[in-house]
Structures are given as C-alpha cells and as structure tokens.
Amino acid sequence: MLERPTDRRIIRTKRLIRDALTELMEEKGFEVITVRDLTEKADINRGTFYLHYRDKFDLLDQCEDEIINEIQKLTHKIDPKDALKFDGQKEPFPFIVYLFEYLHENSSFMKVVLGPKGDASFQVKLKELIRRTFFQNILSKLKQEEMLVPVDFLIAYVSSAHLGVIQHWLESGMEKSPREMALILSRITLLGPRHVTGLTSKEL
C-alpha cells in the first residue's frame, strides 16, 4: 500500500505523534484535541505535524486504517475447516483468539478508540470486519428459509455482542486471557445467552 518511510526521522516523528494522540484521547477525548496539543505533547514543531498529516482527522483515520488492515490480515490465518469442527465448549473460534491477542498487544490505543471517548466510526469499521468474517466462515453455509429471524439482524446481534464484550474486556483491565475470552464468546453464541445462565427452558 504505502511506500515504506525508510528515514528514521519520519518513523520517530510519526510514533511520537501517535503516542501523543493516544495519551490525549485518554485525557480529554479526541474532539477537544488540537494540533497544538499533539505537537506540544510529542515535543515537535507544529509545522512538522503538517508534513505528515492533513489535520487531526487524517491522523486518526490513518491510525484506524492501519489497525483494520492488520486485523484483516489475521483473518487469512483462518483454516476453513475450523468453522465446522468446533463445538465451542472446549475450542474457541481461532480468529477470535487472534483478535484478542492483537487487541492486547495494542491495548492502549484500542482501549481509548473503542472507549466512551473514542470514535463511533471505528466501532462501525471493526464491527463490519467481524461481521464479514462471521459471514464468510459460518453464516454463508446457512439456508435463509430455515432461519427463525432475519439474517441481517442475527448478524448485527452477534457481531455487536462480540464488539461489546471486547470493549468490556478492555475497560475492565484485560484480566482474562485471549483464549478464555474467545471461549466465553463461543459458549454464549453457541449455547445461547439464556442457556449459559444455568436456567433450563422451564424456569424462564
């Protein structure tokens, strides 16, 4: 995609700006950040910022797109037969494990961008990626006429639920491992929210 910026100054400057962005988003939220804030925090000249980004929105976009691209790459590791064999009780869906591992490695930025002071449009982008992955690996095998609910709402339900659990995990300190989290998600999704409460059909 992008020609590589070999020059170490560029890499350094971009890193400083992006680190400043993460810190400032956590401190005060993206909306009230100024380019001046960013360059002061990064300790670079304000003009330098404009050598790399058009404005603060361009900065956020580039950060987000990079993340989406890297997560997209994780989907290439999926083995098609995984979708079929797993029962969700012992083995989670592998992509979800990779996803949590990636989130953990980039937790400081992911936490703010998916948090209350974050960016609604990034949530949509990530949800859409989850949606596509689910569809390609699982839902495409289903027959529309056998569904008890419209498929688009089911997809919205499951992908939003996954994103929501991710957000809660990030907010609450990421105490459980990626594998544990993926297992929790596959259990709820496959057994159903009510079933995992321990209730039988009669009780509710």
- Looking at the Cβ atoms of 47 and 116, the one nearer to DNA is 47
Cβ 40 to DNA shortest distance, Å: 9
Residue closer to DNA (CB basis): 56 or 162: 56
Give the pair of three-digit tokens for residue 163.
């994103």
Are the C-beta atoms of residues 114 and 57 closer than 8 Å to each other? no
Residue 55 interacting with DNA (CB under 7 A)? yes
Query: Among DNA, a copy of itself, none, what binds residue 139 when CB lies within 5 to 8 Å by partner kind?
Result: a copy of itself
Q: What span, in angstroms and rounded, lies between the C-alpha atoms of 17 and 178? A: 29
Is the CB of 2 or the CB of 148 nearer to a copy of itself?
148
Instruction: State the binding partner of 84 from a copy of itself, DNA, none, CB within 5 to 8 A by kind.
Output: a copy of itself
Told to check if 46 binds DNA by CB under 7 A, we report yes
Nearer to DNA, 58 or 87 (CB): 58
Minimum CB separation from a copy of itself for residue 72, in Å? 19
What is the distance between the alpha carbons of residues 49 and 21, in angstroms, rounded to a whole number?
A: 12
Measured CA angle at 114 (ends 167, 83), to 5 deg: 55
What angle do helix axes 120-137 and 151-171 make, rounded to 10 degrees? 120
Q: Which two tokens stand for residue 35?
A: 């380019």
Rounded to an integer, what distance in angstroms lies between the CA atom of residue 204 and that of residue 200? Answer: 7
For residue 12, state whether it binds DNA (rule: CB under 7 A). Answer: yes
Q: Give the one residue of 30, 48, 78, 180 binding DNA; rule: CB under 7 A.
A: 48
Count of chain residues binding a copy of itself (CB under 8 A): 58
CB 23 within 8 A of CB 110: no
DSSP labels, 95-128? HHHHHHHHHHHTHHHHHHHTSTTS-HHHHHHHHH
| Residue placing its CB nearer to a copy of itself in the complex, 105 or 152 | 152
Q: Which residues contribute to the site for DNA (CB under 7 A)?
A: 6-10, 12-13, 34-36, 43-48, 50-52, 54-56
